[in-house]
C-alpha cells in the first residue's frame, strides 16, 4: 500500500473512531433524555391526578374518585391509567410479581417506575403513591415503549447517516490532501531514487519550497547527494583514466626496458647473418662468384636478409604500444615467440631454453600482454642463473581455488610454469617480489617494475601469479589464466 493511502487510511480511521465515539455519546444522551422526559410526563400526570382523586375521595367518596380516574383514562390515548392498592387490601391486584424494592419505595411515599419487557416492544409503568384515609394506593400510568423505540431508531439512523456523510467528506478531503502533500512528493522522491540507482546522477526533484517540511528537506538532501555523487563519479573517472594511463605507461616502459636488455642479444644474433651477407656481396662485387655461384650468393643474401628482418620485426612488435585485445591464442606459439626473443641472451650465458607445451592448447587472451609477462619471467630466470643450466616453460590444466587476495570460487585454469635453476629467493624477500620498484638486483640491472607489471597484466585477465622458491635449487613462477570455454 502506498504511503499516501496508508496516511489517509490512518486519518480516516482516527476520524471514524472520534466521530463514532461522539455520536455514540450523543445517542446515549438522547436516549436518556427521552426516557427522562417520559418519566417526567408520567410524574406530572400522576401528581395532577393524585390531587384530584384525593379531593374527590375526601368530598365525594371512593366511587366518585375511581369514576374520575376512569374518566381520565378515557381521554388518554398514549397511556393507560389504573388504581393499585399497595397494602394488599380488598380490590388490590396480586402483588406477587411486584418488585419488592419498588414496592418499598412507593410505600415510603416516593414515586417509582419499572419496565416490563415481556410484551414487545415493552411497557413503562410509573407509580404515584396516594394515601386515601388509612389505606395506601397508587396511580399506575402505563405507556408503550414503541414510540420511544421508534424515536431511538430514527435518532440512530440519522446519526449513522450523518456520521457516514462526515466520514465520506473527510475521506475525500484526506485523500486529496494526502495525495497533494504526501503522495506526489513521495512519488517524485521514489522516481529520483530509482534514477540515481540506475546511474542517472543528473536527475533532480523540485518540490515547492514554500512547504518547508520534512519531504522538502529530504528532497534537498537527495538533490545534494546526486550532485555530490556526480562530482565524485567525474572525479573518479578522471582519476581512473589517469591511473590507467599511468599503468599503461609503466607497462610500456617495462616493455622498452626489456627491449633494451634484448638489444645486445639481438645484435649478436644479427652479426652472423650480416657477416654472411657482406661476404656474399663482396664475392659478387669482386667477381669471385661466377655463373651459378652468383645466383646462389644472391639467394643466400635474400634468405639472411629475411631472417634479419624477421628478428627486427619481432623485436619491434614486442616494443610497440597497443591497446589490449583478447583473441584466441595458441599457447605453444605464444611461448615459442617469447623464447625466440631470449635465445640470443640465453646462448651467451650457455643456458638452454626448453618448453613443454602441448599443441592445440588455446586461451582467450591478449597475446602481446601475455608475451610480455612470459618474457619478463624468463628474463628474470636468466638473470638469476649464474652458471649454465636450463630454463623450462611448461603448462598444465588444473582446477584450483584462487588465493584469498584474488577471491572467487573453484574453477579451471591453465598454469604456465617458468622454472629456473638459479640461486632461489630468500624467504624474507619472497612476499615482496610483486611490489612496485622492489628489486634485489644491482643498480642499473633492474627497475623493480617487471614482476609488478606482469602481475597486473595477469590480474587483468582474471588470473594471478604464484611463486615458490628453494634457496640454492631455483625458483618457479606460475601464471594462472582462466581456462574459459573448451
Instruction: Between 331 and 189, name the one with better pLDDT.
Output: 331
What's the confidence (pLDDT) of residue 2?
Answer: 62
Instruction: Between 247 and 483, name the one with better pLDDT.
Output: 483
Answer yes or no: is pLDDT of 360 > 50: yes
What's the confidence (pLDDT) of residue 363?
Answer: 92
Residue pair 130/87 in contact (Cβ under 8 Å)? The answer is no
pLDDT tens digits along 386-406: 889 999 999 999 999 998 878
- The domain limits of the chain are 3-161, 201-321, 332-486
Answer yes or no: is pLDDT of 59 > 90: no
52 in helix, strand or coil?
Answer: helix
344 in helix, strand or coil?
Answer: helix
Q: In sequence order, which residues have a C-beta less than 8 Å from that of residue 350 and are 6 or more positions away?
A: 388
Answer yes or no: is pLDDT of 288 > 80: no
Fold of 332-486: Heat Shock Protein 90 (3.30.565)
Residue 186: all three cell numbers together:
513521495
To the question of domain 3-161 being in CATH 2.30.30.90, the answer is no
**CATH class for domain 201-321?**
mainly alpha
Is 173 exposed, middle or buried, given 0-12, 13-18 or 19+ CB atoms closer than 10 A?
middle
Residues linked to residue 115 through DSSP beta bridges, in sequence order? 124
Name the strand (E) or helix (H) holding 478.
strand 474-482
* Exposed e or buried b per residue across 431-469, where buried means at least 16 C-beta atoms within 10 angstroms of its C-beta: eebbeeeebeeeeeebbbbbbbbbbbbbeebbbbbebeb
Give the pLDDT mean for 345-361. Answer: 90
**Chain centroid offset of residue 137 CA:** 86
pLDDT over 90, % of the chain: 12
What's the confidence (pLDDT) of residue 33?
Answer: 82
Instruction: Between 161 and 333, name the one with better pLDDT.
Output: 333
What's the confidence (pLDDT) of residue 343?
Answer: 84
DSSP 272: H
413 in helix, strand or coil?
Answer: strand
Amino acid at each position: 500500500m502506498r504511503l499516501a493511502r496508508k496516511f489517509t487510511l490512518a486519518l480516516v480511521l482516527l476520524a471514524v473512531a472520534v466521530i463514532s465515539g461522539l455520536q455514540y455519546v450523543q445517542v446515549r444522551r438522547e436516549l436518556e433524555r427521552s426516557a427522562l422526559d417520559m418519566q417526567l410526563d408520567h410524574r406530572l400526570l400522576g401528581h395532577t391526578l393524585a390531587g384530584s382523586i384525593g379531593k374527590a375521595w375526601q368530598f365525594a367518596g371512593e366511587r366518585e374518585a375511581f369514576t374520575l380516574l376512569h374518566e381520565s383514562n378515557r381521554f388518554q390515548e398514549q397511556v393507560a391509567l389504573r388504581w393499585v392498592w399497595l397494602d394488599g387490601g380488598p380490590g388490590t391486584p396480586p402483588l406477587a410479581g411486584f418488585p419488592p424494592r419498588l414496592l418499598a419505595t412507593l410505600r415510603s411515599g416516593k414515586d417509582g417506575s419499572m419496565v416490563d419487557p415481556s410484551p414487545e416492544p415493552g411497557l413503562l409503568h410509573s407509580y404515584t403513591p396516594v394515601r386515601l384515609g388509612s389505606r395506601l394506593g397508587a396511580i399506575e400510568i402505563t405507556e408503550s415503549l414503541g414510540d420511544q423505540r421508534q424515536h431511538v431508531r430514527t435518532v440512530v439512523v440519522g446519526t449513522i447517516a450523518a456520521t457516514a456523510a462526515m466520514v465520506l467528506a473527510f475521506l475525500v478531503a484526506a485523500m486529496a490532501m494526502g495525495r497533494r502533500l504526501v503522495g506526489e512528493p513521495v512519488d517524485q522522491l521514489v522516481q529520483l531514487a530509482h534514477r540515481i540507482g540506475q546511474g542517472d546522477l543528473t536527475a533532480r526533484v523540485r518540490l515547492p519550497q514554500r512547504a518547508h517540511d520534512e519531504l522538502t528537506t529530504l528532497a534537498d538532501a537527495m538533490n545534494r547527494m546526486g550532485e555530490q555523487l556526480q562530482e565524485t563519479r567525474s572525479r573518479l573517472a578522471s582519476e581512473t583514466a589517469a591511473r590507467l594511463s599511468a599503468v599503461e605507461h609503466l607497462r610500456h616502459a617495462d616493455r622498452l626496458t626489456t627491449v633494451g636488455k634484448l638489444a645486445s642479444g639481438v645484435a649478436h644474433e644479427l652479426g652472423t647473418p650480416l657477416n654472411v651477407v657482406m661476404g656474399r656481396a663482396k664475392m659478387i662485387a669482386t667477381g669471385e662468384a661466377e655463373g651459378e655461384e652468383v645466383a646462389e650468393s644472391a639467394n643466400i643474401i635474400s634468405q639472411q636478409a629475411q631472417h634479419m628482418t624477421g628478428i627486427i620485426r619481432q623485436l619491434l612488435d614486442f616494443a610497440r604500444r597497443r591497446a589490449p585485445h583478447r583473441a584466441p591464442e595458441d599457447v605453444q606459439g605464444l611461448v615459442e615467440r617469447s623464447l625466440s626473443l631470449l635465445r640470443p641472451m640465453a646462448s651467451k650465458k650457455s643456458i638452454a631454453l626448453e618448453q613443454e607445451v602441448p599443441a592445440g592448447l588455446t586461451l582467450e587472451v591478449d597475446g602481446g600482454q601475455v608475451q610480455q609477462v612470459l618474457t619478463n619471467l624468463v628474463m628474470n630466470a636468466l638473470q638469476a642463473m649464474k652458471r649454465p643450466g636450463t630454463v623450462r616453460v611448461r603448462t598444465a590444466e588444473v582446477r584450483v581455488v584462487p588465493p584469498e587476495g584474488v577471491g572467487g570460487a573453484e574453477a579451471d585454469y591453465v598454469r604456465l610454469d617458468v622454472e629456473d635453476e638459479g640461486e632461489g629467493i630468500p624467504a624474507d624477500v619472497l612476499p615482496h617480489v610483486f611490489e612496485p620498484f622492489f628489486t634485489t638486483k644491482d643498480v642499473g640491472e633492474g627497475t623493480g617494475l617487471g614482476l609488478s607489471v606482469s602481475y597486473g597484466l595477469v590480474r587483468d585477465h582474471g588470473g594471478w601469479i604464484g611463486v615458490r622458491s628453494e634457496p640454492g635449487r631455483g625458483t618457479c613462477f606460475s601464471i594462472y589464466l582462466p581456462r574459459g570455454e573448451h
